Amino acid sequence: MIRRIIAALFVSVMGILAAVQPVLADGIVIPDPVPCPVEGCPPWPHPRPMSQLVIRYHHVDVKIDQQIAVTHVDQVFYNPNAQAVEGTYVFPLPADAAVSDFTLWIDGKPAKGTVLNAEAARAKYEEIVRTLKDPALLEYVGRGAIQASIFPIPPQGERRIELEYTQALTASGGLVQYRYPLNTEKFSMQPLESVRIRVEVNSSQAVRAVYSPSHPVEVIRSGERAFSASYEAQQVTPDTDFTLSYSVGESEAFHLLTYRDPLNADDPDGFFLLLLAPKPDAAAERVNKDVLLVLDRSGSMEGEKFTQAQQAARLILKNLNEGDRFYLQAFSSGIESFAPGLRPASQAKEALAWVDGLSALGSTDIHRSLLEAAAVTDPERPTYLIFMTDGLPTEGVQDSQKILDDFGRAAPKNLRMFTFGVGYDVDTILLDSLAQEHHGLSTYVQPGEALDEALSNFYARISTPVMTDLSLDFGGMRVYDLYPNPLPDLFAGTQVVLVGRYREGGLTNVRLAGKVNGREQVLRFDEQEFAADSRGEMNDLPRLWATRKIGYLLNQIRLKGPDAETIDQIVRISVRYGIVTPYTSYLVTEDQPVLGAQSQERIAAEQFESMQAAPAPEAYGADAVNKAAGAGAMSQADQAQEMEGEAAERVRAVWPRTFVLQDGVWTDTAFDPQQMRTQKVSFLSTAYFQLADARADVAAALALGERVIVVVDGQAYEVTAEGSKATPESMPPARGTEFDLPETVSPGGLQPQEGKTPNIPPAPKAEPSRTVEPVSGAVPQPSPVCVGGLLPLALVGLWLAFRRPG
């Protein structure tokens, strides 16, 4: 009798879940069935539906001390229903978690948690997916989990859940990586009101590079061995796990990360990311530099803009290094300089008074200003020209091409040009061309933005060069499509993020050459591995490379005009990697098909013909500035382009794949309807689960919905509602343990080893789950627990949470 009641209650829960998606913000709240208080309800065990719970906020605080990470999760769930809700909270552990010493508090009370193991979880997982008829949880196969019962949440009430767990992070080649499961997109019907992740790191060694490939982070350093990194957003629905990498060691940081899928018949070449950062004592060997600061003081700058420009000039002068030199110029109809040539940093105090006496008036003679700045340049010293203007050339030579040509002949090769365009009345073609042709960058400060902050933040990054004129030699490895190219100079406290592509893979010796105070210096990094097969690692790399490549190509079209080949490249890369561009707006509409070589060739030809027939776009104005800023941001991006607006509804990035919603089917953009035939697979059939088990990226693709077309090793599989003749034998082979992670426990006193899993005894494999008792006490605190089998999906044994008296 008891078994029948439990079974009926399990069916009840499945019924309500079929009507209402669970809510996930790294943890899932699964409501219990709601009894019907009025006559006429559907017969039990089919409960009446309820509205979803709402997540008020989701805050994560992480402390990493000597590679031991303690993660504290703080969430508030809101019940918008007219009745109380209780149920089960399930937290999917990070895929690389090897230990979970945790304390779970729900509304100030300690809760009992259950840890689930892999073998039982996979069987129960398939049962739940079949019952729910919803594949959204597929991508969590392989993750461990903790579950606990939720105390009742009253109508219009809240329940706060705090969870804390510990894991040991490994270092590979001095690079430490932390990952937090933040993907909520498939489970949250409403955006989260607030999302915040803050990571504090203390290391026994100096920290070199800090980088997040997944989210823009603010990094604040508090010495050589400590820093914090923060991400914060409001009203968002996160769809990417949070990842943070940092390098430790006493030498230069040189980290090579790769992604290559040799089974991708269309494009088997790999992608790589190279992270460069100077050694800890590099600032002591800083390169003496020359700074040329050129300010537009024309009448249009009068007021707040010129006041901010003066403030930025003061900050730069006050932060010159001993051994630096400077040249200070203000231009309008004429040219005025603090001194006729380069002056030592010791004279910066006198220059401050000169800056205070400047005022804005007159026209804009950009041509003469640039030539006079080039004339004072010392070709033997690294030189950084910071050029700021808010207008078009209105005095002297006004032809942009002649200005570029004349300055190109006058400026020595060692000059790096950084342009700042203020407002909308700037010649974006001129400023971008100056920066590109002289190995610099252009920045646009739009109305309402602070010019002094933009200039100050920029100078803080370039204030201390440690190696200039960088070049890389990859030995016998065939690499191509590198961005940025050429490499920028290397500065203390910063890093260079280089992305590119490579051929077959293998080991190679890499040489980094550059200059330090005029002397040639060469650094060798031997036996660097470009992986021949690295599926399952660095899955965001292809889209990051595509973002930078498209940004570069868009800039080429803006500066040099359209050509058929460049537009064709943009269209193909955009469709393949889901990067929305002005030429591929069809990605987010159903106006025209975008899949297949023929469709993409047609789109590219139409766009090229349209651009040829249209008048040349203006180089100035709000539209020109926005396009220049957008393309520049893409070409320098540290994260792949985010999906926003309509694109987020119709385009999904799943690992290195992209899917477009067409006629209700999530279709792999690698699918060519003119060249490929699909093998149909019935939704939730045995063959369907065999397909999901083939590869982790395939499982994540199937999690998009009930109708999916996915290309695996050149074969297209179409998931349909109708019956099909597909058999498990016709599916790709199961991945087996290809992406399995080591099962370990924590007896305490973890000793992480370089490049290895912590040396911890293996967990017993006989137990399907573990129950963890709550920690007593009034204040949340870590509770050391020996936990076995932490690496499966967190959906086994749900019936335990739905027990009712009798």
The predicted-structure confidence for 684-740, as pLDDT tens digits, reads as follows 998 998 888 888 888 889 988 999 999 988 899 999 987 777 777 778 876 543 333
Output the pLDDT for position 128: 62
**Statement to judge: residues 88 and 115 lie in one domain:** yes
Residue 187 covered by a domain: no
Output the pLDDT for position 760: 26
End residue of a domain, out of 738, 754, 778: 738
Residue 545 covered by a domain: yes
Q: Using one digit for the tens of pLDDT, what is the confidence trace for 727-782? A: 777 788 765 433 332 232 222 222 232 333 332 223 333 334 444 444 333 333 33
**Statement to judge: residues 25 and 154 lie in one domain:** yes
Residue 385 covered by a domain: yes
Tally the domains of the chain.
Answer: 5
Q: DSSP 3-state assignment of 595?
A: coil
**Statement to judge: residues 454 and 471 lie in one domain:** no
Q: DSSP 3-state assignment of 6?
A: helix
Residue 202 covered by a domain: no
**Statement to judge: residues 702 and 723 lie in one domain:** yes
Cβ 573 vs Cβ 549: under 8 Å: yes
Structure tokens at 367: 């041509």
| SS3 readout for 212-227 | CCCCCCEEEECCCCEE
Residue-range definition of the domain harbouring residue 506: 261-284+466-534
Output the pLDDT for position 4: 39
**Statement to judge: residues 543 and 687 lie in one domain:** no
Cβ 295 vs Cβ 308: under 8 Å: no
Q: Strand runs (DSSP E) across 186-318, as ranges?
A: 192-202, 207-211, 218-221, 226-236, 242-248, 253-259, 270-277, 290-296
Residue 390 covered by a domain: yes
Residue 225 covered by a domain: no
H or E stretch covering 605 = helix 597-613
Output the pLDDT for position 702: 92
End residue of a domain, out of 438, 463, 488: 463
Which of 415, 360, 365 minimizes the C-alpha distance to 393? Answer: 365
User: Tell me, what CATH number does 523's domain have?
Assistant: 2.60.40
Mean pLDDT for each 10-residue chunk of the chain (806 residues)? 36 33 53 55 45 81 94 88 78 69 79 67 63 72 72 85 88 88 67 91 91 92 92 86 89 90 84 90 80 94 90 92 95 93 95 93 94 95 94 91 95 95 93 94 91 88 91 95 94 92 94 91 93 82 95 93 93 91 74 83 90 86 92 92 79 88 92 92 90 85 92 91 76 54 27 30 36 40 31 28 32
**Statement to judge: residues 495 and 427 lie in one domain:** no
**Statement to judge: residues 525 and 541 lie in one domain:** no
Output the pLDDT for position 521: 92
**Statement to judge: residues 274 and 377 lie in one domain:** no
**Statement to judge: residues 274 and 319 lie in one domain:** no
**Statement to judge: residues 526 and 556 lie in one domain:** no
- pTM for the complete prediction? 0.82
Output the pLDDT for position 99: 64
Output the pLDDT for position 52: 65
Structure tokens at 629: 């800023």
Burial (CB count <10 Å: 0-12, 13-18, 19+), residue 225: middle
- CA distance to 28, 270, 670, 802, per residue, from 799 (Å): 15, 45, 41, 5
Residue 256 covered by a domain: no
**Statement to judge: residues 781 and 763 lie in one domain:** yes
End residue of a domain, out of 443, 463, 483: 463
- CA distance to 80, 185, 380, 526, per residue, from 145 (Å): 27, 19, 60, 40
Residue 241 covered by a domain: no
**Statement to judge: residues 150 and 26 lie in one domain:** yes
